[in-house]
């Protein structure tokens, strides 16, 4: 049990220190430097658990691997279509969208995700 939480803690620490919205494999490579015998499966399970606890975000993009985010509160992202980097977009999250949509369609809306696509500064011609 103690070992489990130590692994989870290490996964969380790596993700908190990363701004690149890494893949599970990347997290695994980093955590392995601290806990050499950890398996990729354990890292996956740890990430799923952290996500379920609301401590991290999982960002799913069509056709690519999930990327993970140590910043758990809702925020917007910009994805560069050329280099595939994912940037955090500063600025307030529009919580009213949820209410407006709920009123319009009669569903209960908990959250929304917003993702901008384009070219980052380095990739612009
Ligand atoms: Zn780019
Ligand atoms: Zn983010």
Which fold is adopted by the domain 2-69? Arc Repressor Mutant, subunit A (1.10.10)
Of all ligands present, the nearest one to the C-alpha of 86 is: 2
Query: Which of the ligands is closest to the CA of residue 67?
Result: 2
Distance 83 CA to ligand 1 centre (A): 4
Q: What is the pLDDT of residue 3?
A: 54
pLDDT in tens, 40-77: 999 999 999 999 999 999 988 767 789 999 998 889 99
- How far away, in angstroms, is 21 Cα from ligand 2 center? 6
CA-CA-CA-CA torsion sign (100, 101, 106, 108): negative
13-40 pLDDT, tens digit per residue, is 999 999 899 999 999 999 999 999 999 9
Q: Give 76-123's CATH code, choosing from 3.30.1490.190, 1.10.3720.10, 3.90.550.10, 3.40.1160.10.
A: 3.30.1490.190
More confident residue, 106 or 62: 106
Distance 115 CA to ligand 2 centre (A): 10
Helix and strand tally (H, E) in the chain? 4, 5
2-69 against 76-123: fold identical: no
Domain boundaries along the sequence of the chain: 2-69, 76-123
**Residue 5 pLDDT:** 82
CA of 87 to the centre of ligand 1 (A): 10
């Amino acid at each position: 049990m103690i070992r489990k939480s130590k692994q989870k803690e290490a996964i969380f620490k790596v993700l908190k220190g990363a701004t690149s919205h890494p893949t599970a494999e990347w997290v695994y490579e980093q955590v392995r430097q601290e806990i050499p015998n950890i398996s990729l499966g354990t890292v996956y399970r740890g990430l799923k658990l952290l996500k379920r606890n609301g401590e991290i975000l999982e960002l799913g993009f069509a056709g690519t691997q999930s990327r993970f985010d140590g910043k758990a509160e809702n925020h917007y992202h910009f994805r560069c279509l050329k280099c595939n980097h994912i940037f955090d977009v500063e600025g307030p999250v529009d919580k009213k969208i949820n209410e407006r949509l709920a009123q319009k369609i009669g569903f209960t809306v908990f959250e929304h995700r917003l993702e901008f696509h384009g070219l980052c500064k380095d990739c612009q011609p």
